[in-house]
Structure 1
Amino acid sequence: MTRLAILSDIHGNMSALEAVIADAEGQGCTVFINLGDTLSGPLWPAETADVLMARDWPTIAGNHERQLLTLPRDRMGASDLFTRAQLNPRQLAWLAAQPATCDFAPDIFLCHGTPGSDLTHYLFTVEAAGLRAATDDEVSERTGDRGEALILCGHSHIPGERVLADGRRIANPGSVGLQAFHDDHPCPYTVENGDPRARYAIVDAGRILFRHVDYDYASAAAKADREGRPDWAIALRTGRMEPLA
């Protein structure tokens, strides 16, 4: 039986990516899937692109790929702006060829956020008070009439799964490259996994196995510091964020 390694939200963190690949191969994974937000951040976007282009995994675009390719530079956030400046035409063409979703197999569907949005969290809901677990009704509404037994998503950076009443399963492998962040869509909120280890998941005979992998996160944090991103450096070292003002 083929073991699938499910990766998402690498965010240009080559150190974390290399550790996850080694762990997944050691676990017997022979097929790798990438759910997007692959490069954006103050780390190693070009190097990450080259490694993944050579491996040619099934890959979909996340919101950061869309933003990198469509937003004018004066509207980009700092992570996208840094990344856009590092990428060559071949790497940009690789991003542009990535679909927003993918019918990977008759029973497996890939999306970054939800089937209809790369910015909406699937298993969580953002409210004025912050991020909370989505209700079953919310998850069912976001799933719509997708008939696949397994839907794989990213975006939230939080590993987890939900099984709907009809048996359909939605799973998020967590983030390879970044274990905490602030965001402001649709209102300010914070995600924190609480430790810096890289996350991914394995799909094996219908089971979802969540993995966390140690790596040299201190070197990634030092790179973020050198690029003027102390917020990322804290997240990479600790899996936590400074409180929102």
Structure 2
Amino acid sequence: MTLPDRFAVLADIHGNADALRAVLQDIDAQGIGTVLNLGDMFSGPLAAGETWALLHDRAFPTVRGNHDRYLIEQRPEEMQPSDRAAHDDLPPEALDWLRNLPVRLELDEALLCHATPRDDQTYWLEDVSAEGHVHPATHASVAERLGAVTQPLILCAHTHLPRIARHGDQLIVNPGSVGCPGYADTHPVPHVMQTGTPDACYALLTRAGARWQVTHRHVPYDSTRMAALARARGREDWAEAVAMGWLTQ
């Protein structure tokens, strides 16, 4: 596949069908025909089945995320609540689709992965201290995670934070999260990620000579229904993150 001069990148939908719907409408309104998907599409106490219905007919080039992997590797009774909620809401064909997704994808001059090429749980552009403080990764850390990657454009996700970084002639782009603007995690140590906005986020890339211009699009949408779904499942943390982009509890 040859990359067009203009395309969109999305990631980390996490079952937020209303956010995805808003992003797809924004993409379609701009006449963008190519969309790349960096995974973690369903896990969350929201609307995984509805999200699958929106993605099913689009056939976006897609890589599998860590939560997508949990949905197909773990037994339902072993899953964390967010993964179990998604698993129970998805039809069998969605799980079959996840099983057949690659963990990395090379498209023309771009490398796609969910987190890093070697590990679907490692942040690429951020580091977490032993005390749980999140900060931009050092130049050395970014370079180490590149390893033998030679593509000039690297598309990664996982942190939910919209970011770009340059390493020599290589551009690393994180499009942010379509549907989950804040979360708490325990890997590698307990910490919180939050964007501070409930808007659905994705990236628009436009060729500018030999380089790429990156625009992070923040799309407002009505998060009321998704927050209510999370609250109905006893997930006030998710309801707060979806509604505010912050975690205050």
Match of 2:120 among 87, 112, 118: 118
Counterpart amino acid of residue 113 in structure 2:
C
Residue 233 of structure 1: aligned partner = 239
Assess if the C-alpha contact under 8 Å between 1:11 and 1:39 holds in 2: yes
Residues in 2 aligned to 1:163 and 1:25: alpha-carbon distance in whole angstroms: 29
Q: Could you list the runs of 5+ residues in structure 1 that have no partner in the other structure? A: none
The Cα shift of 1:117 comes to 0.7
**C-alpha deviation, 1:86, in angstroms:** 1.4
Query: What is the match of residue 219 of structure 2?
Result: 213
Given the two structures, how large is their TM-score scaled by the length of structure 2? 0.94
Distance in 1 (CA, whole Å) between partners of 2:76 and 2:28 is 38
Amino acid at match of 2:248: E
- The offset of 1:28, in angstroms, is 2.9
Q: 1:55 aligns to what SS in structure 2?
A: coil
Work out which of the residue numbers 28, 46, 54 in structure 2 matches 1:25: 28
Match of 1:179 among 181, 185, 191: 181
Provide the rounded CA distance (Å) in 2 between the counterparts of 1:17 and 1:136. 33
Moved runs in structure 1, 4+ residues, more than 6 A?
Answer: none
Taking only the aligned residue pairs, the percentage that are identical comes to 40
SS of equivalent residue, structure 2 residue 57: helix
Determine which of 63, 87, 91 is the counterpart of 2:94.
91
Is the Cα contact below 8 Å between 2:15 and 2:42 reproduced in 1?
yes
Output aligned runs, 1:1-80, within 5 Å: 2-80=5-83
2:162 and 2:22 mapped to 1: Cα distance?
A: 17
Matched-pair contact (CA < 8 Å) for 1:2–1:29: no
Following superposition, the deviation at residue 242 of structure 1 comes to 2.4
CA-CA distance at 1:153 after TM superposition: 0.4
SS of match in other structure, 2:178: coil
Q: Tell me how large the CA RMSD over aligned residues is.
A: 1.1
Query: Which residue does 2:144 correspond to in 1?
Result: 141
TM-aligned CA deviation for residue 72 of structure 1: 2.4
Question: Aligned partners of 1:26, 1:149: CA distance in 2, in Å?
Answer: 29
Pairwise CA distance, 1:47:
1.4
Q: Which runs of 5+ in 2 are unaligned?
A: none
How many residues are paired up?
Answer: 241
How far apart, CA to CA, are the structure 2 residues paired with 1:109 and 1:122? 14
TM-score (norm 1): 0.96
